[in-house]
Amino acid sequence: MHELSLVAGLFEILEEKARDEKALRVTAVTLRVGRLSGVVPELLETAFDTFKKGTIASRAKLRIEVVPLKVRCRSCGEESLTDEPVFVCSSCASPGLEIMEGQELTLQRMEIEKDG
Protein backbone atom coordinates (compact mmCIF):
# COMPACT_ATOMS: atom_id res chain seq x y z
CA MET A 1 0.00 0.00 0.00
CA HIS A 2 2.50 2.61 -1.17
CA GLU A 3 -0.07 4.27 -3.43
CA LEU A 4 -0.34 7.38 -1.25
CA SER A 5 3.39 8.00 -1.48
CA LEU A 6 3.22 7.51 -5.26
CA VAL A 7 0.38 10.01 -5.48
CA ALA A 8 2.47 12.52 -3.50
CA GLY A 9 5.16 12.16 -6.17
CA LEU A 10 2.53 12.47 -8.89
CA PHE A 11 1.29 15.75 -7.45
CA GLU A 12 4.80 17.23 -7.38
CA ILE A 13 5.03 16.67 -11.14
CA LEU A 14 1.44 17.74 -11.75
CA GLU A 15 1.71 21.01 -9.80
CA GLU A 16 4.99 21.96 -11.45
CA LYS A 17 3.54 21.32 -14.91
CA ALA A 18 0.37 23.25 -14.04
CA ARG A 19 2.52 26.23 -12.97
CA ASP A 20 4.55 26.08 -16.18
CA GLU A 21 1.33 26.09 -18.19
CA LYS A 22 -0.21 28.86 -16.03
CA ALA A 23 -3.22 26.59 -15.51
CA LEU A 24 -6.15 27.79 -13.41
CA ARG A 25 -7.13 24.24 -12.70
CA VAL A 26 -6.43 20.69 -13.73
CA THR A 27 -9.58 18.88 -14.84
CA ALA A 28 -8.30 15.44 -15.79
CA VAL A 29 -5.18 13.37 -15.25
CA THR A 30 -4.21 10.27 -17.22
CA LEU A 31 -1.76 7.72 -15.83
CA ARG A 32 -0.27 4.70 -17.50
CA VAL A 33 0.09 1.93 -14.95
CA GLY A 34 1.91 -1.25 -15.90
CA ARG A 35 0.39 -4.61 -15.08
CA LEU A 36 3.59 -5.44 -13.23
CA SER A 37 4.24 -2.05 -11.61
CA GLY A 38 3.25 -3.27 -8.16
CA VAL A 39 0.37 -0.82 -8.03
CA VAL A 40 -3.34 -1.49 -7.56
CA PRO A 41 -5.37 0.93 -9.75
CA GLU A 42 -8.30 1.06 -7.29
CA LEU A 43 -6.01 2.04 -4.42
CA LEU A 44 -4.37 4.64 -6.63
CA GLU A 45 -7.82 6.15 -7.31
CA THR A 46 -8.61 6.32 -3.60
CA ALA A 47 -5.24 7.88 -2.85
CA PHE A 48 -5.70 10.41 -5.67
CA ASP A 49 -9.15 11.45 -4.43
CA THR A 50 -7.78 11.91 -0.91
CA PHE A 51 -4.75 13.85 -2.01
CA LYS A 52 -6.39 16.18 -4.55
CA LYS A 53 -8.44 18.08 -1.96
CA GLY A 54 -7.33 21.68 -1.71
CA THR A 55 -4.99 21.42 -4.70
CA ILE A 56 -5.20 22.84 -8.22
CA ALA A 57 -6.58 19.42 -9.23
CA SER A 58 -9.33 19.34 -6.58
CA ARG A 59 -11.98 18.48 -9.14
CA ALA A 60 -9.81 16.46 -11.50
CA LYS A 61 -10.87 13.12 -12.88
CA LEU A 62 -8.30 10.36 -12.77
CA ARG A 63 -8.03 8.06 -15.77
CA ILE A 64 -5.85 5.00 -15.48
CA GLU A 65 -4.66 3.14 -18.55
CA VAL A 66 -3.49 -0.29 -17.47
CA VAL A 67 -0.58 -1.36 -19.65
CA PRO A 68 -0.50 -5.10 -20.32
CA LEU A 69 2.71 -7.00 -19.99
CA LYS A 70 4.71 -7.08 -23.20
CA VAL A 71 7.50 -9.62 -23.13
CA ARG A 72 10.15 -10.78 -25.56
CA CYS A 73 11.93 -14.10 -25.41
CA ARG A 74 15.70 -13.73 -25.23
CA SER A 75 16.11 -17.12 -26.95
CA CYS A 76 13.68 -17.21 -29.87
CA GLY A 77 12.67 -13.56 -30.09
CA GLU A 78 8.94 -14.29 -29.76
CA GLU A 79 6.99 -11.27 -28.49
CA SER A 80 3.71 -11.56 -26.67
CA LEU A 81 1.17 -9.44 -24.85
CA THR A 82 -0.49 -10.76 -21.75
CA ASP A 83 -2.72 -9.68 -18.90
CA GLU A 84 -1.29 -12.29 -16.56
CA PRO A 85 2.33 -12.30 -15.44
CA VAL A 86 4.15 -14.95 -17.46
CA PHE A 87 7.83 -15.55 -17.23
CA VAL A 88 8.35 -18.49 -19.55
CA CYS A 89 8.19 -18.19 -23.36
CA SER A 90 4.90 -19.51 -24.73
CA SER A 91 6.66 -20.53 -27.93
CA CYS A 92 9.94 -22.19 -26.88
CA ALA A 93 9.49 -22.49 -23.07
CA SER A 94 12.70 -20.53 -22.30
CA PRO A 95 12.67 -18.62 -19.02
CA GLY A 96 13.92 -15.09 -18.51
CA LEU A 97 11.68 -13.04 -20.71
CA GLU A 98 12.69 -9.46 -21.35
CA ILE A 99 9.99 -7.10 -20.16
CA MET A 100 9.37 -4.47 -22.82
CA GLU A 101 6.28 -2.88 -21.29
CA GLY A 102 4.17 -3.38 -18.20
CA GLN A 103 6.33 -1.94 -15.41
CA GLU A 104 5.72 1.74 -16.08
CA LEU A 105 4.12 4.30 -13.82
CA THR A 106 3.80 7.39 -15.94
CA LEU A 107 1.93 10.67 -15.73
CA GLN A 108 0.92 10.61 -19.36
CA ARG A 109 -1.14 13.76 -19.86
CA MET A 110 -3.47 16.18 -18.16
CA GLU A 111 -6.28 18.48 -19.15
CA ILE A 112 -6.13 22.01 -17.84
CA GLU A 113 -8.14 25.21 -17.98
CA LYS A 114 -6.42 28.53 -18.37
CA ASP A 115 -7.26 32.16 -19.21
CA GLY A 116 -7.25 32.96 -22.87
Partner 1 sequence: MEKKEVLVLKDILGTNKKIAAGIREKLRTKGILSVNLMSSPGSGKTTLLESLAGRLQGRFRMAVIEGDIETELDAERIRAKGIPAWQITTGGACHLEAKMVGKVLAEVPADLDFLFIENVGNLVCPASYDLGESLRFVLLSSPEGDDKPKKYPEAFLSSHVLVLTKADLIPHLPFDPARARREALEINPCLEVFEVSALTGQGMDVLEAFLVSALEKLRSGHA
Positions that interact with partner 1 (CB under 8 A): 1-2, 5-6, 9-10, 12-14, 17, 21, 23-24, 27, 31, 36-39, 85, 87-88, 95-96, 99, 104-116
Cβ contact 44:33 at 8 Å: yes
Which one, 31 or 67, has the nearer CB to partner 1? 31
Q: Give dist(CA 3, CA 107) in Å, integer.
A: 14
Q: How far is the CB of 21 from partner 1 (least distance, A)?
A: 6
Q: How far is the CB of 12 from partner 1 (least distance, A)?
A: 7
How many Cβ atoms from other residues are within 10 Å of residue 18's Cβ? 20
Q: What is the largest distance, in Å, between two alpha-carbon atoms of the chain?
A: 58
